[in-house]
Amino acid sequence: MARSVTTRHKTIATVAAWIVALLIFFPILYTIITSFKSEQEAIQGFSIIPSGTFESYSEVQAQSGYFKFFFNSVLLSVGSTILALLVAIPAAWSMAFSPTKRTKDILMWMLSTKMMPAVAVLFPIYLIFRDTGLLDSRIGLMIMLMLINLPIVVWMLYTYFREIPGEILEAARMDGASLWNEIVYVLTPMAVPGIASTMLLNIILAWNEAFWTIRLTTTEAAPLTAFISSFSSPQGLFWAKLSAASTLAIAPILIMGWFSQKQLVRGLTFGAVK
Amino acid sequence: MATQQTRSLARFMMAPSVVLLFVWMIVPLVITIWFSFQQYNPLNPIRDGFVGFSNYALFYSNPAFLQSILNTLTLVVSVLLITVIGGILLALLIDQPMWGQGIVRILVISPFFVMPPVAALVWKNMIMHPQYGVFADIARFFGAQPIDWFGQHPMLAIIIIVAWQWLPFATLILLTALQSLDGEQKEAAEMDGAGFISRFIYLTLPHMSRAITVVILIQTIFLLSVYAEILVTTNGGPGYASTNLPFLVYQKALLEFKIGQASAGGVIAVILANIVAFFAMRAVGKNLDK
């Protein structure tokens, strides 16, 4: 008896959850479906079975050189993440293993920089970029994205590093390991999973950043966020093309995101929810 | 335990992060504050100079200012309500035993990874378009008049889009918190005859309270600066109907070149964010002590 109740309960939960999940996922699904339609089909009313043409994909590349934007997105997100890691790993390491009285204050202060509204400094940044020739340059935007995400990277690494037991380091120290050896042979192997998680989350955040990437670029350094935004002007209906461009823009990050659910929770809650 | 050598090394390792963030925070902010007291128009440099608080006065007296503050708050509060309540319900649902839970999770979390311009354009064109959108198809199917979302209810449309982006985040965080709830506690409560509702109120909700706080605080930071969603859908209109504070500052700075006023608006945005940040930091800081 109890078993049949459980099965019924499970069936109801399954049906309800799947319906809600599919509704939430629908806009993405419909975008993917539309990307395989022709332009004509795309505006002919609701249908979930496309004719299966790859026309839009090849046209997006032919007309706008899509892959340049794609390449910029990859370069900017990966580049800015590596830069951020280079700066943040030493900082997080020292805060986790030689904390001082001020460590907590410094961490909080770093987090507070994340709360400054970007728009408040839009014009100064614009001026600085213009005067230093960084406007619409990949390196400028890479630095920008690095700075934006640096607090999250430091925080996330810090919460991972803090979980590495200090006794191991002390034991290594007792054995006469130098600080350098300690880092290379003891700390690094234990820290790699945390660093990888941080990297994954940060690439996602940088890929989707849609304020500076739109405002500080025009053509050369423009990533996908800027390219997709250019579809907002209503010059005709190119929904199949828009869908193809969108699908390509979100697919890699969607797949990465699926694998990083745990890290996402941890990274974005600053270790408060695990 | 730490020797003098390791201590100075620690400082040395921290320096790049601290210096970079300090420069990144202070330099542009000081320039913004400086400009907020200046008349500065790159197109018309003749009248440039110090003007005291008149930029603030101009920005305040602009009817768009009040509207934008109101829109900013409406957006933040509505999206928070939808995502927190919806997130709790969804988390409770997904936490039930079911088939294909992993896939359900993946489907629900997906919108969070969609970049804002894509999310906004997909909703604008394929879902909410008054003629060809899915909503219009549904309305026509039931014999109703399709709604012109961005013309008639621009704020509502933007709230729906932004809520769609953030509901997955809230759900994921709350689900994680829910799943860390001790199974034995739940069973004990069940044995004692506690119904679903009382179990939820006395056991689950208190357990999730910290996660809920974190969701509210983090979302608030991001929701205060919603930008791309407005840019590609309504462009702030009609009129100023869907202009929030960041968007107004952007318009003043890069479209009208009223740098002084834009900077005054930016300073106001900083103050607003600081009020929120104050509470956020306290909550996160408390957490750090544990």
How large is the ipTM?
0.84
Residues A155, A250, single domain; the answer is yes
Query: Which residue segment(s) compose the domain that B158 sits in?
Result: 37-288
Specify whether the CB–CB gap between A81 and B8 falls below 8 A: no
Residues B6, B62, single domain; the answer is no
Residue B90 has pLDDT above 90, yes or no: yes
Specify whether the CB–CB gap between B127 and B145 falls below 8 A: no
- What are the tens digits of pLDDT across the range A190-228? 888 888 888 888 898 898 888 888 888 887 788 888 888
Please check whether residue A143 touches B, CB under 8 A: no
Instruction: Describe the crossing of helices A239-259 and A2-35 by its angle, rounded to 10 degrees.
Output: 140
Distances (CA, A) of A76 to A67, A132, A145, A148, A172: 14, 19, 8, 13, 38
Give CA–CA dist B108/B76, Å, rounded: 21
Specify whether the CB–CB gap between A124 and B32 falls below 8 A: yes
Size of interface A-B (CB pairs under 8 A): 303
Residues B111, B7, single domain; the answer is no
Residue A153 lies in a domain: yes
Q: B-chain residues within 8 Å CB-CB of A253?
A: 113, 115
Q: A169 to chain B nearest CA, in Å?
A: 12
| Overall domain count for chain B | 2
Residue A52 lies in a domain: no
Average pLDDT, integer, range B146-164: 90
- Most confident by average pLDDT, A138-142, A256-260, B80-84, B186-190: B80-84
Query: Which residue segment(s) compose the domain that A22 sits in?
Result: 2-35
Residue A28 lies in a domain: yes
Give CA–CA dist A116/A127, Å, rounded: 18
> pLDDT value at position A76?
92
Contact partners, residue A143, CB within 8 Å, separation at least 6? A80, A83, A134
Record the pTM.
0.86
Q: A-chain residues within 8 Å CB-CB of B222?
A: none
The tokens of A150 are what? 């640096």
Residue A25 lies in a domain: yes
| Overall domain count for chain A | 2
Burial of A129 (0-12, 13-18, 19+ CB in 10 A): buried
Q: A161 to chain B nearest CA, in Å?
A: 14
- What are the tens digits of pLDDT across the range B41-58? 766 666 667 777 777 888
Are residues A269 and B218, on separate chains, in Cβ contact within 8 Å?
A: yes
How far does Cα B45 stand from its chain's mean position?
A: 37
State the DSSP H helix or E strand holding residue B226, giving kind and residue range, or none if neither: none
